[in-house]
Amino acid sequence: IGVRSRQVHVEFELPEPEPPRALLEAAHYFCEEDDTPKEVSRRFGVPVAAVLALNASRLEGLVSTSRLRRRTILALPLVHAVAENETPRAAAAALGLECDSLVAANGALDAELGPLGPATRLPADTQLLLPAGAPPPQYSARPMPLLASRVELAGWCAGEGWRVAEVRRLLGGARFVAVAAEEAKEEELRLRDEGKTWRWPDGARPRGGGERARSGGE
């Protein structure tokens, strides 16, 4: 008795590769459909040149106006926000970095503030880019949320639950700005108020704790 075989075609999608752990532990942003590096840079107040440099080896042909697919991961620079009149020399000392490396990493500031040197007095809340390989900043042994990271904000009224928010900008004095999902209002928060006005999502608090405390901080 002849047996007729039947072929069945099954369509499936290959799973997306897991992002490198090192990328997910650094500052990064999950793009929406048609986001561009220029728009993302403006969203977080960092130079587009820094974003392009961080992602050039992983996203071939990336330019400032490239339209990216949803869930594309863009690495973002680590930053330190200065206090009023803080200098790169003082910032480097507080962060445990070489001053020359910190100055070299911030050539993009020259056009706005003039030539940047170790003794340049910077306006409050200027975001200095940290050099490659530098650890995320910590103030009074507390880790600072990274740009584009998620935190939870206390409700507006007593009894309201916590709201998921995105960190948009770092400020001097160990402060940062976050925007809750589906809300346009920016909220300014202090690092020292962790557990009161804001908190880390479950399991999201960075491990480790440095002992560096910056001048002009908390």
Query: How distant, in Å, are the alpha carbons of 27, 81, 109 from that of 130?
Result: 12, 10, 13
pTM of the model: 0.80
Token pair, residue 67, equals: 């339209």
Task: Report the pLDDT averaged over residues 120-149.
Answer: 91
* Contacting residues for 32 by C-beta, under 8 A, at least 6 apart: 70
Q: How many helices (H) and strands (E) does the chain have?
A: 6, 11
Task: Report the pLDDT averaged over residues 23-49.
Answer: 91
Strand partners, 25: none
| pLDDT on residue 215 | 38
* Per-residue confidence band for 55, with pLDDT thresholds at 50, 70 and 90: very high
d(CA 147, CA 28): 7
pLDDT tens digits for 144-189?
A: 999 999 999 998 776 678 999 999 999 999 999 999 987 888 999 9
| pLDDT on residue 128 | 94
pLDDT tens digits for 71-83?
A: 999 999 999 999 9
**What's the mean per-residue pLDDT of the chain?**
84
d(CA 142, CA 214): 11
* Per-residue confidence band for 5, with pLDDT thresholds at 50, 70 and 90: low
Please, what's the b/e burial string for 15-31 (b: 16 or more CB within 10 A of its CB; e: otherwise)?
eeeeeeeeeeeebbbeb
d(CA 197, CA 153): 6
Task: Report the pLDDT averaged over residues 1-15.
Answer: 49
Task: Report the pLDDT averaged over residues 181-206.
Answer: 90
Is the Cβ–Cβ distance between 192 and 174 less than 8 Å? yes
Find which of 41-50, 132-141, 148-157, 199-208 is predicted with most confidence, using mean pLDDT.
Answer: 41-50
Token pair, residue 64, equals: 């400032």
Instruction: Indicate the burial class of 94 (C-beta count within 10 angstroms; 0-12, 13-18, 19 or more).
Output: buried
Question: Phi and psi (nearest 5°) for 102?
Answer: -65, -45
Q: Are strands 142-143 and 138-139 parallel, antiparallel or unpaired?
A: antiparallel
Residue 29 has pLDDT above 80, yes or no: yes
pLDDT tens digits for 14-27?
A: 344 555 665 666 79
DSSP 107: G
Q: What percent of the chain has pLDDT over 70?
A: 80
Is the Cβ–Cβ distance between 151 and 200 less than 8 Å? yes
* Per-residue confidence band for 69, with pLDDT thresholds at 50, 70 and 90: very high
Task: Report the pLDDT averaged over residues 44-50.
Answer: 93
Question: Phi and psi (nearest 5°) for 24?
Answer: -70, -20
Q: What percent of the chain has pLDDT over 90?
A: 65
Number of Cβ within a 10 Å radius of residue 105: 21
| pLDDT on residue 4 | 57
- H runs (alpha helix) in the chain: 21-25, 37-44, 48-55, 88-95, 99-104, 110-113
| pLDDT on residue 140 | 80
